Amino acid sequence: MYHKPFFLGLFILFTLQLASQNTLIVGKISDKKGEPIIGANVYIEGTYDGTTSESDGLYQFNTEEKGEQTLAVSYIGYEDFSITLNISGEKVSLDIVLEETINELNEVVITAGAFEASDEKKSVVLKPLDIVLTAGATADLAGALNTLPGTQTVGEEGLLFVRGGASYETKTFIDGLLVLRPYASSVPDMPARNRFSPFLFKGTLFSTGGYSAEYGQALSAALVLQTQDLAPETLTSISLMSIGLGASHTQRWENSSLTIGGDYSNLSPYMSLINQNVSWHLAPQGMNSQLVYRKKTSETGMLKVMANASTNKLALDYPRAEDLSLVRLDLHNQNLFLNATYSEILNDKWSLFTGLAYTEDTDKIAEKFQFDTRERSAQLKLKWKYTSGDFVSFNMGLEYWNQHYKQDFIEANELLWAPSLQNNYGAAFFEANIYLSKKLVSRAGLRTEYSSIIDRWNVAPRWSLAYKTGDYSQFSFAYGAFFQNPENQQLIYRRDLNFERANHFMLNFQKIHNDRIFRIEAYEKNYDQLITFPSLRSRNIDNNGDGYARGIDLFYRDRKTFENVDFWLSYSLLDTRRLFRDFPESSTPNFASKHNLSIVYKQWLPKINTMLGWTYSYGSPRPYNDPNSSFFNAERTPTYHDLSFNASYLTNWFGNFTIVYVSVSNVFGFEQNFGRRFSTSPDANGQFSSIAVDPQARRFLFLGVFLSLGQERDF
């Protein structure tokens, strides 16, 4: 729905990879067996010049330093390495072999339920570049993550639905702090987008279950995003797109950096050229501004501040719930997200993290009435980590949230109803990693939470175990209890409810070798105390629901077999039923499909400086309910097919490095249908009328030109 110009990040990424006029230092990091080491820190001591090794162990960075300098390399589980170099401006090539520490224990990593891409883990799955260059994702986090196993394709939503869980069961955290509203506002049956560019983040942990005791209030999944540190260089950029424009400037100082950027999007010109299934009065348009400040406070300390403000609006003819007659609906959303964190290594055993976050979100909806919703949330988090030698480490912390929620229902300029909520939420967690042997590691955790609005406590145990079966493979098991508050839309009617609950069980096998990843995971998730109510308009709300989800997820990625080719395949088998919301009986929910398949293919063509990408997505039919039928959820959507394409061409325009980017979703125009929407009231003949839920258009075409001012590249 909202194709905001976050493609600016694509342009920034490539320009950051340009060769500079400084000394280039390149090489490969490997172990004694010749296997590449991924994510090793490589840097010039006493400076901020450095990088991390890539999936093939290769590294490269530029430095302005001259003369004798010390190059240092560090990686968890290996001895630190350093060497003195005489830097004179000529290219330095240096391959480095790291020695493993005596115990080798840190090779074992908990992987059950988790797909991780960060500077600290070997099991890198999706980096920012992967997200942007995944065809069909349109640089959206959720769009790219939906190509991983465990997710369901729900084209009319655009959100993350994980292992039979509703979208509200997956929560997003930035630098450990909850994001109250990570998606832009939309209207039912029109997909939303994530508010944040993937290039803000250096690490992505997408946990489809069994996640750490550090994270709560999420029944199904946690998307944990770690933001970038200091910007590598001063840079100014401009983007010109078929849906808008944007600009950004980054200033880098010796120990700090500041980025200020903004963009404007307006789909009116585009939608006037492309046939739409929607009658627009005001096509989606919006503005977004961002400030990111980073300061290195010491050799090991980092202060991060981020502010993101956005506004978007639309107006269209939309079917009324009662009889599906079309009326004008206006939506205007404003969102502000602030995030500030400070981290420091106190000594060789203790490290500290503290963070503050604030979110304010306002939706104004106007039909024949006016419906305003305002949410505010302030969060404080303190976390300590203690490491005792190589065998035990502890992670512990405290959290506090203060949340406000308010609705105003106005008709004929009269305030008819104005419910409001206030919740004080507190949590404490403790987690220990215990290395039982060279091949066996256990993680045991406990989280406890209190919510004032329902006046209840919970205790959530978490436990994981990993066993290394070979040099490149391991098994992992995970169990966890997870709790979540009822949604605000239910709490405004009744406060004496209980937490919703889910228990996760997972068994995982993973092998990573020679730029190939294979994963298979079986899981079962049992629900209890789910919210139920007799009908959508009923205020008779309770915790009488339950359910289950079980299945198998498969993932294979290969960056080695074919030259200049990267591809992955993911498949999910899901069996799920639940009794929740207004379900009269236990049934498969309408967002869950039994089979989901994604095939992602990317190829670099060096002779023409072009990257091509294809993504094929398949989803088996999903159930939906026809109230005219005597059977509940007996209808099925058609099978979902989508083949999307993108291409990036690198060149120079007027002495400026330039990327020309094109993206097309659903290239072959497969007919896609997401069921039918039914009226809530029958007509004179006792029948409920309905309309088809279809995409706004069969395809979405994006064109963009991204310029790096003052930078030129030789090809």
Per the structure block, which two tokens stand in for 704? Answer: 């963009």
User: Is 713 contained in some domain?
Assistant: no
Looking at the structure, do residues 377 and 276 belong to the same domain, yes or no? yes
- Do 118 and 53 lie in one domain? The reply is no
Domain boundary among 42, 76, 105: 105
Considering the domain architecture, whether residues 345 and 414 belong to the same structural domain is answered as: yes
- For 218, the token pair is 């999420």
Per-residue tokens: 72: 């240092």
> Does 198 fall in a domain?
yes
Neighbours of 525 (CB within 10 A): 27
Question: 136 and 88 share a domain?
Answer: no
Considering the domain architecture, whether residues 138 and 93 belong to the same structural domain is answered as no
- Rounded to 5 degrees, φ, ψ at 349 are -120, -30
Q: How crowded is the C-beta side of 169, counted as CA atoms within 13 Å?
A: 24
Query: Phi/psi at 247 (nearest 5 deg)?
Result: -150, 150
Clarify whether residues 466 and 397 are in a common domain.
Answer: yes
The backbone region for 219, taken as left when phi is positive above 0, alpha when psi lies in -120 to 50, beta otherwise, is alpha
CATH number at residue 524: 2.40.170.20
Domain with residue 80: its CATH number is 2.60.40.1120
- Which of 105, 135, 159 is where one domain is finished? 105
Alpha-carbon distance of 220 to 196, in angstroms, equals: 21
In a domain? residue 34 = yes
pLDDT in tens, 376-385: 999 999 999 9
Q: Which domain holds residue 56?
A: 8-105
Torsion sign over Cα 52, 55, 59, 60: negative
* Per-residue model confidence as pLDDT tens digits over 486-508: 999 999 999 999 999 999 999 99
Q: How far apart are CA 208 and CA 165, in angstroms?
A: 10
Task: Assess if residue 2 is contained within a domain.
Answer: no
How far apart are the C-alpha atoms of 514 and 525, rounded to whole Å?
A: 33
Write the CB contacts of 412 (distance below 8 Å, at least 6 apart in sequence). none
Structural element, H or E, at residue 15: helix 8-16
Q: In this structure, is residue 27 part of a structural domain?
A: yes
Looking at residue 107, what is its pLDDT? 47
Residues 457 and 514 in one domain: yes
Cα(446)–Cα(464) distance, integer angstroms: 12
Q: What is the pLDDT of residues 232-246, one digit of tens each?
A: 778 888 888 888 999
How many other CB atoms are found less than 10 A from the CB of residue 431? 21
Task: Give the integer Cα–Cα distance in Å for 476 and 322.
Answer: 50
CB-based contact 218:484 (threshold 8 Å): yes
Taking each continuous run of H as one helix and of E as one strand, the counts in the chain are 5, 40
Mean pLDDT of all residues in 40-55? 77
Predicted local distance difference test score (pLDDT) of residue 105: 36
Please give the torsion angle defined by the CA atoms of residues 23, 26, 29 and 35, in that order, rounded to the nearest 10 degrees. Answer: 180
Taking the CB of residue 670, how many other CB atoms lie within 10 A of it? Answer: 15
Residues 64, 170, single domain; the answer is: no
Q: Please identify which residue in the block is written with the tokens 């599906």.
A: 324
Confidence of residue 106 (pLDDT cuts 50, 70, 90): very low
Share of the chain above pLDDT 70, in %: 91
Neighbour-count burial of 188, counting CB atoms closer than 10 A to its CB (0-12 exposed, 13-18 middle, 19+ buried): exposed
Q: Which of 58, 78, 105 is the last residue of a domain?
A: 105
pLDDT tens, 278-287? 899 999 999 9
Do 140 and 80 fall into the same domain? no
What's the DSSP call for residue 696?
S
Q: Please check whether residue 3 lies inside any domain of the structure.
A: no
The H or E element that residue 491 is part of is: helix 488-491
Q: 304-352: per-residue pLDDT in tens?
A: 999 999 999 999 999 988 888 899 999 999 999 999 999 998 988 899 9
Q: Tell me the three state secondary structure of residue 665.
A: coil
pTM of the model: 0.85
How do residues 14-34 score in pLDDT, each as one tens digit? 444 443 346 889 999 988 878
- Asked if residue 119 has pLDDT above 90, the reply is no
CA atoms in the 13 A half-sphere facing the CB of 132: 24
| Domain count within the chain | 2
Q: Are 118 and 204 in contact (CB under 8 A)?
A: yes
How does DSSP assign 284-329, residue by residue? EEEEEEEEEEEEE-SSS-EEEEEEEEEEEEEEEEEE-TTT--EEEE
Is 1 inside a domain boundary?
no
Is 185 found in the same domain as 38? no
> Which strands form 201-207's sheet, in the order they lie side by side?
114-117, 201-207, 221-227, 170-174, 177-178
Distance in angstroms between the alpha carbons of the first and the last residue of the chain: 37
Note whether residue 714 is domain-resident. no
Residues 23, 145 within the same domain = no
Burial class (CB in 10 A: 0-12, 13-18, 19+), 1: buried
- Residue 289 shares a structural domain with residue 375: yes
